[in-house]
Chains A and B, each alone.
Chain A
Amino acid sequence: GEVCSPTLVSFMCCKFQRIDVSKQMSLPMDIRLPPEILKKLQMQSPEPCKPLSRMSRRASLSDIGFGKLETYVKLGKLGEGTYATVFKGRSKLTENLVALKEIRLEHEEGAPCTAIREVSLLKNLKHANIVTLHDIIHTDRCLTLVFEYLDSDLKQYLDNCRNIMSMSNVKVFMFQLLRGLAGELKLADFGLARAKSVPTKTYSNEVVTLWYRPPDVLLGSTEYSTPIDMWGVGCILYEMATGRPLFPGSTVKEELHLIFRLMGTPTEETCPGITANEEFRSYLFPQYRAQALINHVPRLDTEGIDLLTTLLLYDTRKRISAEASLRHAYFLSLGEDIHSIPDTASVFSLKDIQLQKDPGHRSSFDCFFPNSGRGKNRRQSVF
């Protein structure tokens, strides 16, 4: 049957914001009903034993177009995978752009477990830094998930600024990523984290790379734990600060080799239990010493280097958590207020939080070097 290993999907649904999008429409459960619809529903007699509110809400949501395929116009295909096809679309209700993910439900084993998990987990999530699921349409053979449309991901952003990001923007983006993951942790609080599966394809159907996987997963650990995500966060901090991926391996062996060469080959001291790991022993890696990260990420300040170091610890018990990292000294300069904004509000709702112009941004760069060939797309993204 279908094998769903218990690991993470976090990066797939984390998003970055460049502007405040608080006006967007949310999940149908929260919508305020137009008074004429409520009135109409109140005239119908409710079934016994059922609260009126839920019934009326259900019927009225459908009245205004939620849960109906006709409400959305398909604009073009964004990608196709083994179990889903993603289209760009527009909602006739809100005129907003949306991403329509069509999942085929006819398989030998019925509804794919990935779809069941994705929908039931996303239904519980509402966070400014996690992609929002707006609507679910279940027709005969097909399930359509309506997501907010994200026009740019981190990869495109980095390409656009030719891999030279302002260090203050790196900090704001990092904070958003960690906020999203801490929000994810709240989801995991529900005991749901274990129901996740390893993504092999992204939202837009690119193959997920090994570049952001921690050594414990590369060495065969199938145990889900939140520190798995944090390793990837460290890789992304490096990538934003330097403009190049940290460990761009194409095979598991090469990936491990790149990691060990920089961070040192794990020992019983840095990674308890490693000497008993059969897979690790079979690779026979040389004994590398850990290198100083500051030499590799010179643009990152001392606090940033410290955060990066604690994100890239081999010992999952010592690796910093999303919540703790939000309180790391690296983020002190963002101020205290950033810790008290509600989950659903963007960090840009604070007037002190603003993005700077990136030194390598295309429009400014082009004036001076119109034909420079930098920023070529050589990156695979997990987003």
Chain B
Amino acid sequence: GELFIKEKKKKKRKNFDPHLLSDRALQTLLSTEDNYLPSTNYFKCVQNEVAPYMRRVVATWLLEVCEEQKCEEDVFPLAINYLDRFLSIERMKKTRLQLLGAACMFLASKMKETVPLSAEKLCIYTDNSVRPDELLSMELLVLNKLKWDLASVTPHDFIEYFLFKLPVHEDAKHTLRKHA
């Protein structure tokens, strides 16, 4: 795993298109967000093994992978959105939760990144407890269950709008963006 950790990523960062910072755009964003919200009570209603603390473990792991791989900032919240939406409709064994998390991350990276994470790399991050072929079939299951509806609105999408409204300097915005 260390080999990959040391690997430096050469990625071109994308900038936010200033043409999109209109109030109408914000309204659209708000109303679209509703279509992608997970259920809030799936631990009680859908799952019988998966508990909140397990979700936290998987989420922490995903965040670490994102940070180490220097993923785009929107990849992590997007992966979590897929995870929650999947768990809202499909019962999952706790032993397959990391596999699910990896598949969600795989998909979020494909949605957002110029150079998406490879299946092999993700499997290495699971300490090889997940095989690439398992990851690929879980990917298809997630796509199928989420009906290929992956263009979710996440909290991250609102940051630029809020910063745009704030009367602060560009440098301060950079700091705020980092800590949002």
> A338 to nearest B CB, angstroms?
19
Bound form: Cα–Cα A123–B146 in Å: 12
Q: A193: which of B17, B119, B135 is its contact (CB, 8 Å)?
A: B17
Q: Which chain B residues numbered 6 to 42 have a C-beta less than 8 Å away from chain A?
A: 12, 14-15, 17-20, 22, 24-25, 28-29, 32, 39, 41-42
Q: Which chain A residues numbered 225 to 245 have a C-beta less than 8 Å away from chain B?
A: 225-227
> By CB atoms of chain A within 10 A, which of B12, B42, B153 has the most?
B12
A224 engages B32 (CB within 8 Å): no
Q: A222: which of B20, B107, B114 is its contact (CB, 8 Å)?
A: B114
Q: From A197, which residue of chain B is reached at the shortest CB distance?
A: B114
* B-side contacts of A120, CB under 8 Å: 111, 148-151
Bound form: Cα–Cα A223–B32 in Å: 25
Band of interface residues on B: 35 or more
A2 engages B116 (CB within 8 Å): yes
A123 engages B151 (CB within 8 Å): yes
Does B112 belong to the interface (CB within 8 Å)? Answer: yes
Does A188 belong to the interface (CB within 8 Å)? Answer: yes
Q: From A192, which residue of chain B is reached at the shortest CB distance?
A: B151
Q: Given A108-B119, A116-B148, decide whether A321 and B19 contact each other with a Cβ distance below 8 A.
A: yes
> A200 to nearest B CB, angstroms?
15
> By CB atoms of chain A within 10 A, which of B20, B46, B116, B119 has the most?
B20
Does B176 belong to the interface (CB within 8 Å)? Answer: no
Bound form: Cα–Cα A5–B28 in Å: 26
A225 engages B17 (CB within 8 Å): yes
- Give the total of A residues in contact with B, Cβ under 8 Å: 42
B20 engages A188 (CB within 8 Å): yes
B116 engages A136 (CB within 8 Å): no
Does B118 belong to the interface (CB within 8 Å)? Answer: yes
* A-side contacts of B84, CB under 8 Å: none
Does B57 belong to the interface (CB within 8 Å)? Answer: no
Does B140 belong to the interface (CB within 8 Å)? Answer: yes
Q: Given A223-B14, A223-B15, decide whether A1 and B118 contact each other with a Cβ distance below 8 A.
A: yes
Does A195 belong to the interface (CB within 8 Å)? Answer: yes
B28 engages A186 (CB within 8 Å): yes
Q: Which chain A residues numbered 208 to 258 have a C-beta less than 8 Å away from chain B?
A: 222-227
* B-side contacts of A121, CB under 8 Å: 151
* B-side contacts of A49, CB under 8 Å: 39, 41-42, 44-46
> A49 to nearest B CB, angstroms?
4
Does A81 belong to the interface (CB within 8 Å)? Answer: no
B116 engages A113 (CB within 8 Å): yes
Seen from chain A, the residues whose Cβ lies within 8 Å of a Cβ on chain B are: 1-6, 48-50, 105, 108-111, 113, 116-117, 119-121, 123-124, 136, 138, 143, 185-186, 188-195, 222-227, 321
A-B contact pairs, 13 of them (CB 8 A): A3-B114, A4-B116, A48-B45, A50-B89, A109-B116, A110-B106, A111-B107, A113-B110, A120-B148, A124-B151, A190-B32, A191-B157, A226-B17
Seen from chain B, the residues whose Cβ lies within 8 Å of a Cβ on chain A are: 12, 14-15, 17-20, 22, 24-25, 28-29, 32, 39, 41-42, 44-46, 89, 106-107, 110-116, 118-119, 135-136, 139-140, 143-144, 147-151, 153, 157
